[in-house]
């Protein structure tokens, strides 16, 4: 049976009073990173030093991966500040440290860890955050992600995304005969595990809003149909009998419906399947190809791509009135729209001049901004907080035959890239970022 990864218990979250504002400008692409020093974790009796060291490394790597923080070299630390002691701010300022983080890890009697940490504004000479968290010992790594989220949120004012996962298609084997399996991992690539076997090719995974299930396309018995996977039990079931090939599933924001692309009589349209009533509702009409649905955060609209104008472009469907508006008019073809969680952006794939691009625009199709470009890239998906996008990029090798696909993320400035490391021999495609873990 497949079990969910983590079960974390948050015991106490205490915010200290703030007098001076220390904030990272996450909009400006050329902003100078905040220098942050994360001290060696104090450990109480019964805590393995390697666990504390691992957790410190996770916090540092999370913050560094954003491009917004510079991790101060450990060898440059002027002192070691015990918990509940006051730092010598002048000494830390002398090495240009702006933020100091202390932490202590304690082993509780009921097989849990307690993590206490303080965050100091060195220039403001004050403590700006203090929290105490408790989790089962087997989820110590997740505890570090939660700590990193708290620091990120305090310093940026935005929703953190380190305590999240990414579901994707893990491809192995020769390019002419790739095995495609459903896989899941932490957002930094740790803890990858397979969710499906090699018996059927799978594509297009997408999380439910409550993280209880994943919908995906499976070619089980050579029959391309949308299936769901329960992350708690591992149970898989076909979504419904729709009378044609169906693909590109996406959950509605409330999790009660799934939008799919369904081929009938040689025409592809978008339908909406109600999980409570098992009713299927057609949303697009005509003779054009309509696919890649993405709900707006309020569930009232849907972005999709269609060739109804003669070339593949992004359109917006009003789910109440049925009215459709085309929003892209730039050169090239537009595809795979993805609405940001805050509703301010739509990410997209663009194909122009034999190059693939990933970019963002506002929901009216204005203020288009290209974030990345390459030989082949696709499938943008948003992190919680709407400041970072994950996608995959395939590189064409010199022999023209081999293909290597990487999973990468980039923020909305287009400046801060992060490559997610996968196990040797694994190519990653079609990543989808999860909501914050429950």
What is the structure's pLDDT at 5? 35
Domains for the chain: give ranges and CATH numbers. 8-156 (3.40.50.10070), 165-433 (2.120.10.30)
SS3 state of residue 148? helix
Tokens of 102: 């202390």
What is the structure's pLDDT at 21? 62
What is the structure's pLDDT at 10? 42
What pLDDT digit, counting tens, does each position of 192-212 carry?
Answer: 999 998 888 899 999 999 999
Strand order in the sheet with 324-326: 290-295, 301-306, 313-318, 324-326
Q: Which position has the token pair 């006051």?
A: 86
What is the structure's pLDDT at 2? 33
Question: What is the dihedral angle through the alpha carbons of 136, 142, 144, 146, rounded to the nearest 10 degrees?
Answer: -100
What is the structure's pLDDT at 22? 65
DSSP letter, residue 414? S
Q: Can you give the pLDDT of all 438 residues of the chain as single tens digits?
A: 333 333 344 443 333 444 446 666 555 554 789 999 999 999 998 899 999 999 999 999 999 999 999 999 999 999 999 999 999 999 999 999 999 999 999 998 889 999 999 999 999 999 999 999 999 999 999 999 999 999 999 999 999 999 999 999 999 988 778 899 999 999 999 999 999 988 888 999 999 999 999 999 998 888 889 999 999 999 999 988 787 888 999 999 999 999 999 999 889 999 999 999 999 999 999 999 999 999 999 999 999 999 998 999 999 999 999 999 999 998 899 999 999 999 999 999 999 999 999 999 999 999 999 999 999 999 999 999 999 999 999 987 766 556 789 999 999 999 899 999 999 999 999 999 999 988
What is the structure's pLDDT at 117? 98
What is the structure's pLDDT at 17? 40
Tell me which long-range contacts 343-350 makes (C-beta under 8 A, separation of at least 24): 343/296, 343/297, 343/298, 344/386, 345/386, 345/412, 346/294, 346/303, 346/314, 347/380, 347/381, 347/382, 347/389, 348/314, 348/380, 349/377, 349/378, 349/379, 349/380
Strand order in the sheet with 346-352: 333-339, 346-352, 355-361, 369-374
């Amino acid at each position: 049976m497949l079990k969910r990864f983590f079960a974390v218990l948050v015991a106490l979250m205490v915010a200290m009073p703030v007098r001076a504002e220390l904030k990272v400008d996450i909009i400006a692409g050329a902003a100078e990173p905040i220098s942050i020093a994360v001290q060696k974790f104090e450990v109480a009796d019964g805590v393995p030093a390697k666990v504390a060291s691992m957790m410190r490394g996770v916090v540092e790597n999370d913050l560094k991966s954003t491009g917004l923080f510079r991790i101060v070299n450990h060898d440059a630390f002027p002192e070691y500040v015990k918990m509940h002691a006051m730092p010598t701010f002048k000494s830390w300022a002398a090495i240009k440290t702006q933020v100091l983080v202390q932490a202590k890890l304690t082993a509780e009697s009921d097989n849990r860890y307690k993590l206490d940490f303080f965050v100091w504004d060195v220039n403001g000479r004050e403590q700006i955050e203090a929290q105490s968290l408790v989790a089962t010992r087997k989820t110590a790594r997740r505890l570090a992600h939660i700590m990193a989220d708290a620091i990120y949120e305090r310093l940026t004012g935005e929703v953190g995304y380190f305590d999240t996962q990414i579901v994707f298609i893990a491809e192995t084997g020769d390019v002419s005969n790739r095995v495609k399996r459903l896989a899941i991992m932490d957002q930094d690539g740790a803890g990858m595990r397979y969710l499906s076997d090699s018996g059927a090719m799978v594509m297009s995974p997408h999380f439910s809003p409550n993280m209880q299930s994943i919908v995906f396309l499976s070619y089980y018995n050579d029959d391309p149909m949308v299936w769901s996977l329960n992350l708690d039990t591992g149970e898989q079931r076909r979504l419904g009998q729709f009378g044609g090939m169906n693909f590109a599933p996406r959950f509605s924001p409330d999790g009660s419906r799934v939008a799919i692309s369904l081929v009938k009589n040689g025409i592809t349209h978008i339908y909406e399947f109600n999980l409570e009533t098992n009713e299927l509702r057609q949303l697009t009409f005509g003779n054009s190809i309509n696919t890649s649905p993405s709900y707006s955060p309020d569930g009232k609209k849907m972005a999709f791509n269609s060739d109804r104008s003669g070339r593949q472009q992004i359109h917006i469907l009003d789910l109440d009135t049925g009215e459709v508006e085309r929003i892209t008019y730039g050169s090239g073809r537009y595809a795979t729209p993805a609405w940001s969680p805050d509703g301010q952006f739509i990410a997209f794939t663009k194909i122009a001049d034999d190059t693939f691009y990933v970019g963002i625009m506002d929901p009216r199709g204005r203020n288009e901004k290209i974030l990345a470009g390459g030989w082949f890239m696709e499938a943008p998906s948003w992190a919680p907080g709407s400041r970072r996008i994950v996608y995959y990029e395939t590189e064409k090798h010199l022999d023209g035959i081999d293909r290597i696909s990487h999973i990468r993320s980039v923020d909305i400035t287009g400046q801060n890239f992060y490559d997610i490391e996968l196990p040797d021999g694994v190519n990653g495609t079609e990543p989808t970022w999860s909501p914050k873990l429950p």
